[in-house]
Amino acid sequence: MKLLVDSGSTKADWIAINTQGETIFTSSTLGLNPEILTEEEIISRLNQSKEISENREKATHLYFYGAGCGTDRMKNHLAILFKKYFTNAHVEVHEDTYAAVYATCALGEKAIVSILGTGSNCSYFDGEKLIQKVQSLGYIAMDDCSGNRFGRHMLRAFYFNKMPKALAEEFATEFNMDADVVKQNLYKEANPNAYLASFASFLIKHKETEFCKTFIEKEIETFVENYIQQFDDYKEVPSHFIGSIAFHLKDDLERILTQHQIKLGKVFQKPIEGLIEFHKNQ
């Protein structure tokens, strides 16, 4: 039994397949980002899924694609942890961009592949290997055009009284804006980046308002400048996207990319289906 996992910081999608590529079960856990979670927290999240915990010894292979796995240190740390938990499995840990590549790129295709979800990143796939010119420093320093960046904009606009009155009233109804609650989640709870990203749903819901459009256009422009345009042939190859932010803001993304003569390729909310096809052929 092969376990395929696509993990962001907010949520991880799990699917178990047999040797014919047929689905045995699907499950989900909270995100398993090793940069921001302790070993105990990761194990606890695994144990919360009955399907995963009950089949841990049946797994022969685990292919994990996750946020926070961009360095060898984090890959090795997570691989050791998984080998202890899935005692009979061959374990491979890859950064989440590889899941996006395998889900979107045709065999041998050159493309720019980006993830716009809770966090963000961008890589170049030359048809064989992945190339990154910028290593992510995480949600505080980078993550342009991500859910946590948009959430930060919403939070700041509300507290600085920059949000239009009607939107602010709705925002306060939808979310608990008590300062102590906000600070508890930002500075003392796990996954502050996912907490910030939770506010992005409000921006997406009101993306047609001028207030939200300003943030959307600014962040997409910044992402194009800092990430996509770092590659010399960005106008020649398609730009594929994975993630909820890309999926829900596809029209804005396409409009701004077109202005920069960038070809929008595939846009998927989740790469898991593409991963199934990829591993069926391995």
Residue 57: predicted pLDDT: 95
- Tell the residue number behind the tokens 């060898």, with chain if given: 72
Residue 47: predicted pLDDT: 96
Residue 81: predicted pLDDT: 96
Cα 59 to Cα 109: distance, rounded to the nearest angstrom: 32
Overall average pLDDT of the 232-261 stretch: 96
Three-state SS for 80-93 is HHHHHHCCCCEEEE
Answer whether residue 99 shows pLDDT above 80: yes
Q: Rounded to an integer, what is the distance from CA 265 to the centroid of its chain?
A: 18
**Length of the chain in terms of residues written:** 282
Q: What CATH number has the domain spanning 2-99+272-280?
A: 3.30.420.40
Q: What is the Rg, in whole angstroms, of the alpha carbon atoms belonging to the chain? A: 19
Chain segment 107-128, per-residue pLDDT in tens = 889 999 999 999 999 999 999 8
pTM of the full predicted structure? 0.81
Cα 122 to Cα 100: distance, rounded to the nearest angstrom: 10
Q: For the chain, what is the mean pLDDT? A: 94
Answer whether residue 282 shows pLDDT above 80: no
Chain segment 125-156, per-residue pLDDT in tens = 999 888 988 888 888 999 999 999 999 999 99
Chain segment 214-227, per-residue pLDDT in tens = 999 999 999 999 99
Give the residue extent of every domain in the chain.
2-99+272-280
Overall average pLDDT of the 44-73 stretch: 93
Phi first, then psi, for residue 150 (nearest 5°) are -65, -40
Q: Bridge-partner residues for 16, per DSSP?
A: 3, 25
DSSP output for the chain: -EEEEEE-SSEEEEEEE-TTS-EEEEEEEE---TTT--HHHHHHHHHT-HHHHHTTTT-SEEEEEETT--SHHHHHHHHHHHHHHSTT-EEEEEEHHHHHHHHHPPTT--EEEEEESSSEEEEEE-SSSEE-SS----TTT--TTSHHHHHHHHHHHHHTT-S-HHHHHHHHHHS---HHHHHHHHHTSS-HHHHHHHTHHHHHHTTTSHHHHHHHHHHHHHHHHHTGGGSTTTTTSEEEEESHHHHHTHHHHHHHHHHTT-EEEEEES--HHHHHHHHHT-
Residue 106: predicted pLDDT: 83
Residue 270: predicted pLDDT: 86
Overall average pLDDT of the 16-44 stretch: 92
Q: Bridge-partner residues for 195, per DSSP?
A: none
Tokens of 128: 């064989």
Cβ proximity of 107 and 250 under 8 Å: no
13: left (phi over 0), alpha (psi -120 to 50) or beta: beta
C-alpha distance across the termini of the chain, in Å = 14
Residue of 274 and 258 predicted with greater confidence: 258
